Structure 1
Amino acid sequence: MSQYFRLHPDNPQPRLVKQAVQIINDGGLVALPTDSSYALACHLDDKQAVERLRRIRGLDERQLLSLLVRDLSELANFAMVDNRQYRLIKSVTPGPYVFVLQATKEVPRRLSHPSRKTIGLRVPDHAITLAILEELGQPLIGSTLIVPPDTVPLNDPEEIRVRLEKQIDLVIDGGACPCEPSTVIDLTGETPVLVRAGRGSLAPFGLEETA
């Protein structure tokens, strides 16, 4: 049975943030709000929690999970970026984007694409998630909370509790989020490539907006 915390979306209560981080450190799988939609997240180094996340999302090992980081100071630990890539990422973060980048050797093998050695990286623009990342002191593994056979993210924390209360350890109610997934941009080549269109604008990447 999952726990249920109500956190203020702009000024999250430090006591509840600490309790949420303790649950994550103990191997918990958490539903939390972001600037695009609700996401599932767990500890970077917890293999069992990552496997549980993949099962709920219906993802195999070839499908990327994202590293949720508090700011770009952590970028170099997990991804190899040149000046061009860094400037582009910095211009739109924090925000509703996942960037596909070449992974460093610091990234656990289970978290990078098995053949391409890439990692998804995201700096969310949401006070609750950023407070949790700050208290935790390291990135989270995250994925947009879309539960098969659904094709759109879950956005109501009460519904998340009802549907997943026996599968996850904590639901963080931070109010409604935009019911859109993040935009995924592959920056591993010479030019940005759109992987998934979502909430973020494509204009900064020179990509066509789709209707």
Structure 2
Amino acid sequence: MLRWDPRGGEEGPRRKGPIRGGSEAVTPEIARAVEVVRAGGVVGLPTDTVYGIGVDPLQEEAVARLFELKGRPPARPIGILVASLETARELGEIDGYALELARAHWPGALTLVVHARVILPDWVGDRNARTVGIRVPAHPVALELLEAAGPMSVTSANLSGRPDTMDDTEARAVFGDRVHYVPGSCPGGRPSTVVDATGPRPVVLRRGPVDI
């Protein structure tokens, strides 16, 4: 169930509702992680590919903190993880072959770079091209967090250019207490396949677990 309301009206985008995932209350670990996200903090989370760190994409300072933590150049946009295809289509233009790819491979290790919808702030994704990478991960812990917190800007939990981390212990060795960690490991061990879906045909930007 989506708990993220991008329509914020005069008060701007906002988060809504109690911290719940689906029909059941979330675990204490997820509830605490949601509190950190809503407060503008950075949360570490396991995914189906590599361990990640993420923030609330609606908070510009939080997104900037993510770049700073990694030492990531601003020219390399950070993508968004969401809990469902429905949510992804609210944030990006996913139609035609992009929709076919999403239906075939989500949840899974495929990131689609698509045109961002106007509800996304310009600091999310590539602000010049107005595109954003979106993915639905196939990991129960990540999905529980995303269902409770809403979409998150997420990147791999490593310093830019350094090896990926595969669990919260490895990530903690990199970032220490600057991140709140959700325990868990990552079965995939490889970053997602990235496909540019903004043109007339798909273009593979990074090869990964999903063959296109």
Both proteins in one fold, TM over 0.5 = yes
**d(CA) in 1 for partners of 2:161 and 2:49?**
20
Contact 1:40 1:144 in 2 (8 A): yes
Identity %: 27
* Structure-2 residue corresponding to 1:114: 127
Alpha-carbon distance between aligned partners in 2 of 1:186 and 1:153, rounded to the nearest angstrom: 23
**Residue 66 of structure 1: how far off its partner (Å):** 1.0
Q: 2:168 aligns with which of 154, 157, 162?
A: 157
1:109-155 Cα offsets, whole Å, 9 max, x none, are: 0113132111000100000010011112x2011112231341x3111
- Output the amino acid matched with 1:103: A
Distance in structure 1 (CA, Å) of the matches to 2:128 and 2:148: 33
Q: Which position in structure 2 is the counterpart of 1:88?
A: 101
List runs of 5+ in structure 1 lacking aligned partners. 1-11, 206-211
Per-residue Cα deviation, 1:24-80 (whole angstroms, up to 9, x for no partner): 111110111100000111112121211111112222332121111100111222111
1:143 matched to which residue of 2?
155
Q: Could you say what the CA RMSD is over the residues aligned between the two structures, in angstroms?
A: 1.8
C-alpha distance in 1, partners of 2:79/2:172?
A: 23
User: How far apart in 2 are the matches of 1:71 and 1:102?
Assistant: 18
Aligned residue number for residue 63 of structure 2: 50
CA distance in 1, matches of 2:205, 2:92: 18
Alpha-carbon offset, residue 83 of structure 1: 3.0
Deviation at 1:176, TM superposition (A): 4.5
SS in 1 for 2:178: coil
Q: Is 1:201 aligned to residue 206 of structure 2?
A: no
Q: Matched residues in 2 for 1:183 and 1:24: separation?
A: 26
Counterpart residue number, 1:8: none
Instruction: Give the secondary structure class of the aligned counterpart of 2:123.
Output: helix
* CA positional deviation for 1:91: 0.7
Please give the secondary structure, in 2, of the residue aligned with 1:142: strand
Which runs of at least 4 in structure 1 moved beyond 6 Å after TM superposition?
Answer: none
The answer for the alignment partner of 1:191 in structure 2 is 201
Partner SS for 2:37 = helix
Cα separation, 1, equivalents of 2:148 and 2:122: 25
Distance in 2 (CA, whole Å) between partners of 1:96 and 1:42 is 20
Aligned to 2:35: 22
Q: Does structure 2 retain, via aligned residues, the 8 Å contact 1:157–1:173?
A: yes
What SS class does the counterpart of residue 53 from structure 1 fall into? helix
The whole-number CA distance in structure 1 between the counterparts of 2:92 and 2:186 is 31
